[in-house]
Homo-oligomer: A and B are copies of this chain.
């Protein structure tokens, strides 16, 4: 047959490493830690499977590396506290442009069942979400308020992930959005 149109990639360790990282991110978000296989990830990154183990040592280390790239969810903290409920509710429910923060939430909830992933997951959750969230909230029992709001966000995202929004019409979604805003606000306010 003809030659491959373009090798399209000169050898570049940093670039392929990043490609693997991106592919792993997507797969982990879609299928969870156990469900995603190194071969799938490697195929997505257009790389041999052996290279993944070679670069990151093990699947678990790759997972940790992916979690370490998580953003600080700082976009949730741009705005006033009194605005928090509606702001986050719209961000979560208007999922058409699934932004980074929610993607990482998906990784977490999809990997919660894995024993190997549990410990890295817990640590990442604290450092990237809970702690900065509580610090931003301030006030009395900030950690409890942060945890409760975080649990609510997680639950809603998870429900979305499971049901794929099959069972809610447009009016229902609007109602859900406003009510979620109210409840979320009740969770974070001192």
Q: How many copies of this chain does the complex contain? A: 2
Number of contact residues on A: which range applies? 35 or more
A35, B112: Cα distance in complex, Å: 11
Collect the chain B residues with CB atoms within 8 Å of residue A183's CB: 148, 152, 183, 186-187
The answer to the question of A127 belonging to the interface, with a C-beta cut-off of 8 Å to chain B, is: no
B187 engages A145 (CB within 8 Å): no
Collect the chain B residues with CB atoms within 8 Å of residue A166's CB: 122
B148 engages A112 (CB within 8 Å): no
What is the predominant secondary structure among interface residues of chain A facing chain B? helix
B115 engages A31 (CB within 8 Å): yes
CB A165 to nearest CB in B, in angstroms, measures 11
Instruction: From A9-17, A62-70, A171-179, give the one contacting chain B.
Output: A171-179
A126 engages B167 (CB within 8 Å): yes
Selected from B118, B158, B176, the residue in CB contact (under 8 A) with A155 is B158
Collect the chain B residues with CB atoms within 8 Å of residue A163's CB: 122, 125
CB A131 to nearest CB in B, in angstroms, measures 10
Instruction: Enumerate 28 A-B pairs (CB-CB under 8 Å) in ascending A order.
Output: A32-B34, A34-B113, A35-B115, A108-B162, A109-B109, A109-B112, A110-B112, A111-B113, A112-B161, A122-B163, A125-B162, A141-B175, A144-B175, A144-B176, A145-B179, A147-B159, A147-B168, A148-B156, A148-B176, A148-B180, A148-B183, A151-B152, A151-B155, A151-B156, A152-B155, A154-B158, A158-B158, A186-B186
